[in-house]
Structure 1
Amino acid sequence: MTKRYSVFVSSTYEDLKEERKEVIQALLELDCIPIGMELFPATDDDQWTLIQELIEDSDYYILIIGGRYGSMNKKGISYTQMEYEYAVSIGVPVISFIPKHPDQIVTGKTDKSSEKENKLKEFKTLVSEKMIKFWNTPEELGSVVSRSLVKLIKSKPRIGWVKADQISSDQANLEILELKQKVYELEEKLKISLETENSNLIQDNDLFKVMYVYKLNGIGRYLTDFMEIPFNNLFSKTCSILIDEGKESELKSFISAYIAHLLLEKSPEKKDINIIDDNFMSIIIQLKALGLIEKSIRKRSLKDSGTYWQLTPKGDTLITNLRAKTKIPNSSDLPPTIT
């Protein structure tokens, strides 16, 4: 039977919002059911009682540690640590993720209190007694969580949840349908959250600064210059190679060729044009942040070490709308002119 597993995601919140979103997205892609306090409405139940019930109902427990210890109870123990210790005490398999370079965490995301700093160190020591993994960036954390959870599921299988057509109990069928609805609602919340954040990114007809190098008349040393291109133009003219999938190096060549095309009439003396590597990666990150492209996961030979990208459904829809030709009405189709 195909199972879905519920996973409780525990961490401090304000300083790890991006990390939590990446982890929740990774869990949804694994067909797991993420459980986190920010995804549930307020209730009349005592908060700690509700948390305990959620942990008890979870198949696995994930702990993300950043640079803060978190708010504490009257005994001076953070709620995050209370959640972790409770999960361990009732036998829920746990896996913790600790920053590889904690000294590089920005000051605004660390504790200013020496007391909390010491408590965080002690908490890390406690957590290190069980399975831990390290992470650097939110994106890397999502990938590490995916790989680690798959291994944890294999080594410590849990009851999980199965599809309604694989069990006979009417009550179980109802529960599965409710869980499916919950997963759908979580996916919609995540989608809305990402769209809201993306509203501040350069997109549509906003101008994107493209840096490139060239040789004057094709001789001498490389010189640097830039041009500003409407982002939709940059996307539609260069990313058609990703409709199926395309190699990262080929996409870079496409963008360089597009820059050369734009400069052909305006600056024909500029030859051997290539986009600057760092600027190319900025374009990749921008396209990824807008949800227009994603890494291809097709299997390839071991000799092929290249990175491949493909359009997401959102990217495919946008490039189709931008590139598809619209019909120009005939003069006979136009309304008569009134004089």
Structure 2
Amino acid sequence: MPVDKRYLVYLASNSLGLDLERYEVQRQLARHGMVNVGFACREDAGPYDWNLVRAQIESADLFILLLGDDYGPMAPTGISYLHREFVHAKSLNKPTLAFIKNTLPEKNLTEDQRRLAGFHRIVAQQSAYKLWHLREELMSHVRASLSSSMLTLGPGWVPAGVSKTPAMPMAAEANKETAEPLSARQRLNLSRQVVNLQIAAKVYQGGNLSQEEVLLPVRLDQLLQGAMPLLKAGASEDRLRAQLESVVAGTVKSQLLKRNAQAHAVDDIRISRGQFQQVLKQWQGLGFVAASGEGVRAVWKALADVSKA
């Protein structure tokens, strides 16, 4: 890790019973040139500010999930705020580390423990994680993870007044200008990477309406094929996003109806604008699409030489 670089980390956890653990983790972050921009979820403070939390997660170079003994304060949808933060980080493909406290009993779980156990399974399926019981064990895992050569981070930033490595910016620009175009095989391989779409939908259950979220892993090339009917002729971002929402609607409805056994309908399925714009940028970077015009008037089209994904 370059010594002149700093990295923003969103340390996500509940507040109950984790004050000392959060303090020790933040000390380790500071030792590695990392700054925590996250805050603990708690019920005794003001209203949960999702817009602020989302902005902090999106600015972070690394997301760290610290799970303790409880599922935590929940949104009206029944998902905890901490769970929602993890889902959002994964939907952005943020580099993620998770540390799960291994204290759940094998049977006779309370409702909160059942929710927490379900969250454990989701984290284990979608992220690298370590189990811990004692604080010393947790800190050993944190130190090893932050020092690992395998740790992936975002771009980071250089504090004002700190000199960058000489000639690196110019060299980077030169490499950018002289780099050879991606081959068809390289483009195809890169297009097969998986993105985690964070999808919101309305669920109708027993006369009640709730807003729920689903994390849907899908390959970039599959998304491209779903949008291709519109991309061939050219379409606005809003039309393309609506097209993809219709493509994933069946899968999302199936997952939410399975999750909510008493539900009878699911509709208003939405992919966030910010995430769809990221998908567009990835397609554009791979040379699959191009835009004419700017802002809301931009028209996106598939390039004539786009490889079949």
TM-score scaled by structure 1? Answer: 0.42
Query: Which protein is richer in helix relative to its size?
Result: 1
Look at both structures and tell me which one has the larger radius of gyration over its CA atoms.
1
Higher relative contact order (CA 8 A, sep 6+): 2
